[in-house]
């Protein structure tokens, strides 16, 4: 019985002395920031290296229509703060927010007013995803690690994926219901829920 506390103490000593613990301790909590009179902000996804987080920020109190997608970056030990993303050509910009981000932080999925979806890239900005004969995205839930595929649910309540080359494609037979909630790095495997 005396050996176990010693082993635990050694493991804790090694952990406390590790560089990871020191860096985590020095940046324990950092604020996500706010805009104007906005009172709430939230991060929902981050890049694989932790240098970028995405979510939403309110610009006026906690009014739903003032919600905007937001990006926070941390590079070279310097916090870049929240970047508000606005695109006047996107009619549903009000109530919009990031819901997912690729590993490199270069591709994100956005949802606006629970009825419009968009793909964001660091090089090209927003691309609104069309509703294709009622089968387009109802809600984006995830992005593959490499950023090539968005997954979620279509307007018929069926799991769906979207790629730039193929557009929206339902997963599963007609009449099934469900949602694709996450994808592997290359989107060769997707998980979610399914009901025949």
pTM reported for the whole predicted model:
0.76
pLDDT digits (tens, 9 = 90+) for 34-90: 666 777 778 899 999 988 999 888 888 888 878 888 888 877 766 666 776 656 556
Q: Distance between CA 71 and CA 51 in Å, rounded?
A: 11
């Amino acid at each position: 019985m005396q050996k176990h506390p010693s082993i635990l103490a050694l493991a804790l000593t090694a952990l406390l002395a590790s560089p990871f613990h020191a860096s985590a301790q020095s940046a324990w909590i950092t604020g996500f920031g706010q805009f104007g009179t906005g009172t709430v902000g939230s991060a929902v996804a981050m890049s694989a290296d932790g240098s970028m987080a995405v979510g939403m920020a309110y610009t006026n109190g906690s009014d739903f229509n003032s919600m905007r997608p937001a990006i926070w970056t941390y590079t070279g030990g310097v916090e870049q703060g929240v970047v508000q993303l606005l695109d006047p050509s996107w009619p549903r910009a009000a109530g919009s927010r990031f819901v997912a981000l690729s590993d490199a932080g270069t591709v994100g999925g956005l949802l606006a007013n629970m009825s419009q979806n968009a793909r964001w890239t660091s090089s090209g900005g927003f691309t609104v995803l069309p509703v294709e004969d009622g089968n387009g995205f109802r809600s984006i839930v995830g992005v593959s690690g490499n950023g090539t595929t968005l997954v979620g649910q279509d307007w018929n309540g069926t799991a769906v994926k979207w790629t730039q080359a193929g557009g929206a494609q339902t997963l599963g037979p007609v009449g099934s219901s469900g949602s694709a909630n996450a994808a592997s790095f290359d989107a060769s495997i997707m998980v979610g829920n399914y009901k025949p």
